[in-house]
Structure 1
């Protein structure tokens, strides 16, 4: 068994550097066979994130080839595939990086138990977090339910230095057969929008490191002000790369602290955003219901609409609510696969409060459209906005999307970038939306911009009345 191969099972850790599982595999003195499995959890992903995952897998394959290695691609049930590969290669161990959402945890727990019963070593390593959920506790020994105390607790915690990329990945004498990723057609559900969306993706480990370096050098100094302005390039854009593990949070953490020590005080807010991401995994681990049910269970009785067939819901998804901030943000997401964070708050508030629609409608739509989709962050963000989640904005706070636009997009740079109707010379990005959407939507750039499906004042009153009638 000492020289039997190790299967290195890649999932949301699609990089070579700062990779604890890969480093351990390469240090074991045994051949390493990198593997990616297109299993039922991959198959269930939404259109945009599945396409983006495929791009990341392909980039990892190329990176491994520069090291004289390969990425073996297989499709099927994870345990079945791993057992088949063990038989084919004589592998005596499987290594992987841990994941923290309920579905992946359930799969991994079952796989680990089954492999151990088979007499195969199954070792998991720290995954795409700074602080694993069970290592961060309140003073009384429980988990954190509020973000700010968690930030204060972990901000001074020691975070180990990043690990280098392996200089050599020991190869087996013979390689098992591999699928061709093109045969998986991971972009099929995107249909005609695939090529446009791909142009907005920044894929792979090298690109992620460049993105981090650019942010620290050019934008972190003005992060506090500019991160709230959707018409300004003021954020890191790293959520896309962190989602697929093309860069480690540890790499981002140390870069942020170096910037802070260099006198760039706004870097502290960037560090807080990294811990906000950690908070999502922390909660999903300790309270798994957050990804599918109201975190605050007293919200189970709230009379949200759950019918996605309503005309108002369709208008929200299509970016034609008649509320410019909402529509611009929804179109940005449809074209680029991402949405500015201020926009995320506004569209979520409008859906769950002005329209009184269940946050799950929004969660599912984002899961289909976002290239930076993450089950934990997506769920926590939606429940925070709806009022049913932890650390939520007060449930009675209803963002006014009109005054928010006046505050954060005064010159309408963002709106002009994404809304074509009623404009003599619409931008290329606004027009690209009509090239992406299904023809069945029947929308054109020459349409009249719609009236609000739910007027702002009317929607606010309706929400407050609903809260009061239910005793909130």
Structure 2
């Protein structure tokens, strides 16, 4: 018989918020004590330098939010099952709640934990919360998962999305709190080295900051359709890092945008499409998990990509010194701010996979190391979409010309000037910050001469198209 006074362990993962949180709301509604916990397990330990550092910032702010609700965040490090079993033994908890994850490694971990705890008569319940629509609830008329975005968008755009639940004003606390690790001792930012001090001013972690960012975006959403691709304008939502760590829930964003639409704001449908594009990535990852590790289209397995991450052309790309300003500016923005404009991501990815004929996994892994908004599904699908090996891709038509992209989306050169110092008489502070952010081993400084292109754009395009035609006929 269930002990109605025994604590519930609320296992937080990528859902560091109090509002729009079905698992937390359900735990609070029981009236039983709730013990929030975050476990730094192997999956979290494997994060790249920038997202791991950003996780640490998010955990610190989230712990403060819990304290304001009369609770606290318990930190444990190590195998997740062992950590939960130890907490159960320490607290007498008989129930564990968590929000679902959808990547294959997390699913495998959670399945193993659920089976083990069930054998020990511990109730385990998983809840929705990271997506608008659970992957198994969206299908074609033949019952298959969508493999093309536009039909999926049409299928879900009129669906009801549950209203987000408000944050609990108080979270029932246990009579005795278990021991917690010290977040500072985890040293989650150590791999960032000197880059952390450069990126820090561009980061405002936590749920409150996420809502501020969302409301700021809603004030300018009417220009979203026209401005979202402009490198020189503030036209995007800047919500990706908050959605990645779950500091804001997608349902909160969906309903806020819908309310803006009802007041006559333009640009709302275009942004909701982007939220569903995120869903599309997660649904693909759930149904076809090889998206993360292999060519989604197996016919690309024989494509002659370079797979040597130490190749001089790849190193030049990583350093933001390809000699192609639109490419280099995007990478330098990433080193200074931890983020990269979405249009720049496409330019940067196309150049690596097409002009430099380098495997998309090398680029995906570099983004996973350097982006504070790293998201496994979006990162993998984005790279494969640009490379041509992924879903909904038309590789022949997606060899972006960086110069044409620059002229169209940065017509006055403001973005380039913001991020590239070489050649400027009075470089901007943002452009100079790049030299303070990158590893000292790169031996770069503002006096460095801007490099010549590592490959002629026309030559690179011709080579890529020839390889593409060879793949089709080979």
TM-score bucket of the superposed structures, by smaller chain: over 0.9
CA distance in structure 2 between the partners assigned to 1:293 and 1:306 by the alignment: 13
CA distance in structure 1 between the partners assigned to 2:458 and 2:91 by the alignment: 66
Q: How far does the alpha carbon of each residue in 1:126-174 deviate from its partner, in whole angstroms, 9 at most, with x for none?
A: 0310001001011111100000000000000000111011122110000
Residue 129 of structure 2 corresponds to 127
1:107 aligns with 2:103: no
CA distance in structure 2 between the partners assigned to 1:395 and 1:66 by the alignment: 54
Residue 207 of structure 2 corresponds to 205
Residue 68 of structure 2 corresponds to 66
Work out which of the residue numbers 167, 192, 195 in structure 1 matches 2:194.
192
Residue 319 of structure 2 corresponds to 318
CA distance in structure 2 between the partners assigned to 1:143 and 1:454 by the alignment: 40
Residue 53 of structure 1 corresponds to 55
| Deviation for aligned residue 1:438 | 1.1
Contact between 1:283 and 1:290, CA under 8 Å: does it hold in 2? yes
| Deviation for aligned residue 1:393 | 3.5
Q: TM-score, normalised by structure 1?
A: 0.99
Residue 92 of structure 1 corresponds to 94
SS at match of 1:331: helix
CA distance in structure 1 between the partners assigned to 2:105 and 2:327 by the alignment: 31
1:421 aligns with 2:425: no
| Deviation for aligned residue 1:471 | 2.0
CA distance in structure 1 between the partners assigned to 2:182 and 2:218 by the alignment: 37
| Deviation for aligned residue 1:260 | 1.6
Q: How far does the alpha carbon of each residue in 1:350-383 deviate from its partner, in whole angstroms, 9 at most, with x for none?
A: 0000000000000000000000001111000000
Contact between 2:20 and 2:129, CA under 8 Å: does it hold in 1? no
Residue 265 of structure 1 corresponds to 266
Residue 345 of structure 1 corresponds to 346
CA distance in structure 1 between the partners assigned to 2:17 and 2:397 by the alignment: 43
Contact between 2:435 and 2:445, CA under 8 Å: does it hold in 1? yes
| Deviation for aligned residue 1:423 | 0.7
Q: How far does the alpha carbon of each residue in 1:186-208 deviate from its partner, in whole angstroms, 9 at most, with x for none?
A: 00000111111121112100010
Residue 218 of structure 2 corresponds to 216
Residue 463 of structure 1 corresponds to 464
Contact between 2:350 and 2:398, CA under 8 Å: does it hold in 1? no
1:295 aligns with 2:296: yes
Residue 275 of structure 2 corresponds to 274
Contact between 1:396 and 1:464, CA under 8 Å: does it hold in 2? no
Q: How far does the alpha carbon of each residue in 1:290-322 deviate from its partner, in whole angstroms, 9 at most, with x for none?
A: 011100011111110000111100000000000
Uncovered stretches (5+) of structure 2, i.e. residues with no partner: none
CA distance in structure 1 between the partners assigned to 2:361 and 2:174 by the alignment: 46
CA distance in structure 2 between the partners assigned to 1:351 and 1:130 by the alignment: 33
Contact between 1:396 and 1:467, CA under 8 Å: does it hold in 2? no
CA distance in structure 2 between the partners assigned to 1:459 and 1:212 by the alignment: 40
Residue 173 of structure 1 corresponds to 175
| Deviation for aligned residue 1:396 | 4.4
Uncovered stretches (5+) of structure 1, i.e. residues with no partner: none
Contact between 1:145 and 1:390, CA under 8 Å: does it hold in 2? yes
Contact between 2:300 and 2:471, CA under 8 Å: does it hold in 1? no
CA distance in structure 1 between the partners assigned to 2:300 and 2:318 by the alignment: 24
CA distance in structure 2 between the partners assigned to 1:304 and 1:430 by the alignment: 32
Contact between 1:15 and 1:245, CA under 8 Å: does it hold in 2? yes
Contact between 1:39 and 1:76, CA under 8 Å: does it hold in 2? yes
SS at match of 2:415: helix
CA distance in structure 2 between the partners assigned to 1:115 and 1:395 by the alignment: 51
Structure 1 residues 351-430: aligned runs within 5 Å: 351-430=352-431
Contact between 1:222 and 1:266, CA under 8 Å: does it hold in 2? yes
Q: How far does the alpha carbon of each residue in 1:7-32 deviate from its partner, in whole angstroms, 9 at most, with x for none?
A: 00000000001100000001112110
Work out which of the residue numbers 156, 160, 163 in structure 2 matches 1:161.
163
CA distance in structure 1 between the partners assigned to 2:193 and 2:216 by the alignment: 33
Q: How far does the alpha carbon of each residue in 1:245-304 deviate from its partner, in whole angstroms, 9 at most, with x for none?
A: 110000110111112222122111010000000001000000000011100011111110
Residue 138 of structure 1 corresponds to 140
SS at match of 1:123: strand
Q: Does the C-alpha gap of structure 1 residues 396 and 232 become closer, same or farther in structure 2, counting only changes over 3 Å?
A: closer
